[in-house]
A = this chain, B = another copy of it.
Amino acid sequence: MTTRDQSDSNWSAAEEDIMEATYSALLKHGYADLSIARIGDEFERSKASIYHYYDSKDDLLVTLLEFTVDQFESSLNTEASQNPAQDLKQLIDKLLSPHPLEDSHQFQAVLVGFRSQALTNTRIRAQFTQVDEYLATTIQELIDRGIAEDVFHDVNASQVAEYILATINGVMYSRLTTDRGDAIAAAHTSLISYLDSELIAERGGNHPV
């Protein structure tokens, strides 16, 4: 996790250090065994300064999640091209990249770990509701654009967006929690086939003016 690249960051240096330390401790120990003491071990300043900023381990973790979600959404933010079909496939490739960089894999692993906490923690649940809302809206806007430009069939954009998102979530989840790499690649291939056969009216090349 590189906070230093975030030029628009609103976090103080101390807060950023705490986020880095929490993230490192999380990767090392996992959720079940995470503690403020262990976060302190990853941290150069005094453990007491953590309590200056955060009331509890729970507060710290929810803040780390907000921080991580911001980074995740920024990483997906790219310039729209002239081709909505290409943009949609690129977004899917980014999310389902078959050979993710270790950093991106760790990133997603942290998100999956957080997500399981959404079962019982309403603040974390609200964050993931927002993440999925963001992804569904992004996909739906691409579909709406494709329909408006006559390169996609006139589908129910919202419903198809939710379908694509569900498949993406299932593939990401299985990649991180099973050893079924070939199976996951097959699901990814099928998703692209689905787009080609059900959504995209005109393949490749430029869209009509």
Interface residues of A (CB under 8 A from B): 30-32, 34, 109, 112-113, 115-120, 125-126, 128-129, 132-133, 136, 158-160, 162-163, 165-171, 173-174, 176-180, 183-184, 186-187, 189-191, 194, 197-198
Contact = CB atoms under 8 A, between A and B. Distances in A.
Nearest to A191: B163
Given A116-B177, A119-B176, 10 more contacts: A116-B116, A118-B178, A159-B186, A159-B190, A163-B194, A166-B167, A166-B170, A166-B187, A173-B173, A198-B198
Contacts of A170: 165-171, 173
9 contacts: A31-B31, A31-B116, A112-B116, A113-B119, A116-B116, A132-B183, A166-B167, A166-B190, A170-B170
Nearest to A160: B190
Contact of A194 (B113, B177, B183, B194): B194
Contact of A129 (B113, B133, B179): B179
A32 to B, nearest CB: 5
Main SS of the interface on chain A?
helix
A117 B170 CA distance: 17
B30 A120 contact: yes
A159 B189 CA distance: 8
B174 A186 contact: no
Shortest 3 CB-CB contacts between residues of A and residues of B: A170-B170, A116-B116, A163-B190
Contacts of A179: 125-126, 129
A167 to B, nearest CB: 5
Given A31-B31, A31-B32, A119-B112, A190 B162 contact: yes
